[in-house]
Chain A
Amino acid sequence: MMEFSRRRLLQTGGLVGTALLSSGLAGTAFSRIAAAADDPLYAAAKKEGALTLYWGSYEQQTMEAIRDAFKATYPGIEVNLLRQASQTVYTRLRMELQGGVNECDSLGTTNLLHYTELKKVGALAPFEPADAVNLPDAFRGLDPDKMYHVGAISLTSINYAPGKVPTPPASWQALLEDQWHGKITTGSPAFSGDVANWVVAIRRKYGDDFLRAFGKQKPKVGQSNVDTVTDILAGERVVGSGAPFSYTLTQKAAGNPIDVVAPSDDAILNLGVTGILAKAPHPNAARLFTNFLYSKEVSLILQKNYWPTLRKDVAWAEGRSLDKLKWTRNTGDDLGPEVAEGIAKWKEYVR
């Protein structure tokens, strides 16, 4: 019975999604709301009346914009947003599960491992967001069982101070040139998931030799990779390795003297993931939100905030797109030990 009604809801959701699409890509807010009003999933979510998001993907500002757009599209659902660092969010969720607390509806963090782990203990609920069809093909169907989906795309790259660096390093390898000795800033893989990801990718690519040479460049190691931007803006260092792509562009857009390079030997792509909790107190609202993530509206918000969009049909800011740059993603089922090993090697060679 339950199974049946959910499938029906899924189908309806899909229908609505297609309806949304066909109703014109430049559909007005009015038409969206009008469409939403007829959505049975919305009706069910509205009955639940609330939605609790535990999110670590996207910074506060972007996340709030997404939340506000959701509230505007689907009035009558109170959204409680808890935005904290991904690992903090995950640790808290784990503790809640242990304590039998069911607060969270939708989880969004930057670490795929969180979801394989949660799936293993049966903490996730399957759902197929209809609008996910618009995702770039590479990121569709992340989990065959539909327990989790792509929630964010982030790129790790090189950033620099344009005024002080006429020709920035064009690749990871170029960072090892003598001219960058004492000029590099980076985050720590022990604190930053993105940097840890970078370490894994770089070791896969170039082995420990790269880390050894990188260490000799005497980089300044902060915590988060966001610290690279701070160091460059402050003038403490001029080139950032393992740097956040979107965030650097945001800072550039704000008028700060900073720019970003997608390395020719691949920007490192990391997927933010999202899933609905099996014991979510507001499952329909969570489904509604998950589907909303793939709406044109959210991708426009992402575009505005210099994030890679979640739709093929919405370009990134300034005409960038995934197709126009070289990127790689760490895949594999056994990333956990590889990350730990990477951190250990980093400590040996870099720190």
Chain B
Amino acid sequence: MSGIRIKNLRKSFGSYTALHGIDLQVPNGTLLALLGPSGCGKSTTLQLLAGFETPTDGEIWADDVLLSSSRGVLPPEKRGISLVFQNYAVWPHKTVAENVAFGLAIRRLPKAELVERLDRALRTVRLEALRDRYPSELSGGQQQRVALARALAVEPRILLLDEPLSNLDAHLREEMRFEIRQVHDLLGITTVYVTHDQSEALVTADRIAVMKSGHLQQLGSPEDIFERPSNAFVATFIGANNELAGRSEGQGAIRVGDRVLTAPDRSGAARGAPVSLCVRPSQVRLSEAGQEAGQEAGAGGPCNVLPGVILRSAYLGEYRDVLVDIGNDQTLRAFVPPVRSYGPGMAVTAHCPVEACQILGPAA
């Protein structure tokens, strides 16, 4: 097992640049999620890690072994890196056992050891009973487990997972999420997990790298990413978020339309530069217009106060999802206790506690 160091990794395909210089470290034994919308470069990063592409610039190291640079790449088969594909890539002409044993056979292990490791891998993913089935006789979840077992059986230094759950139905996906985490806890293999699903990333990963348009936006623990997003993109991409676009009015202040709002400033932007005020809907409180903020609104610290009109209101059982038109073509989402009946057209005042707001710069 080894840690991964990625230095200034660039990849261009013709005139299109998929990666603009990524620096990333994955300490030994961690599970890193590469998270981002499609086209963000996460899959390219994975292909580079696996050795199927040659970087345009930069380097990839596994501990002190240089895996890839623009001058050449160590071929995939020599890296000790296993890859699990989005569509499983389970070989249809081989049985479950043959699929899993493939990598072991390549290593010319003694028969006894091969059988032992095959059995162990099948046990890890609970497929012992299906060992002689062909993939066409398996469900999607079972095929995914075959792919995982096949990758694990060779005891890789590094495990790469490319959107492994995206082809599964919702129920299976939740189950497999925990299973992957469990397997990681059991084996402790350094793992890079590519996904576009933030909740998948939050559940499984030790660390999350958020990417967009070939740039790394933020690297941190799930808490870091959620609580202290480094920019408005990360804030919006992870969890529900309100993003009010405006311009910086100097440290700690932002002009949104004709209002100036205050919040802790993490943008580092100069006065006049475009920034956003971000606040989670769950932190926004509402009161009927003309009334003072109720006791729940008044609790705890200063607020940014934004009057508006309700556009849409949805009852979701545990809370009510309300969309408020706050003028200047901007809206604000609030998750409020379901007891209050807010209907469309109602004039309200939104209260955003200053401490719950953040002024953030745009994506890198």
Assess A/B contact in the complex (Cβ within 8 A).
Answer: no
Chain B positions within 8 Å of A, measured between CB atoms, are none
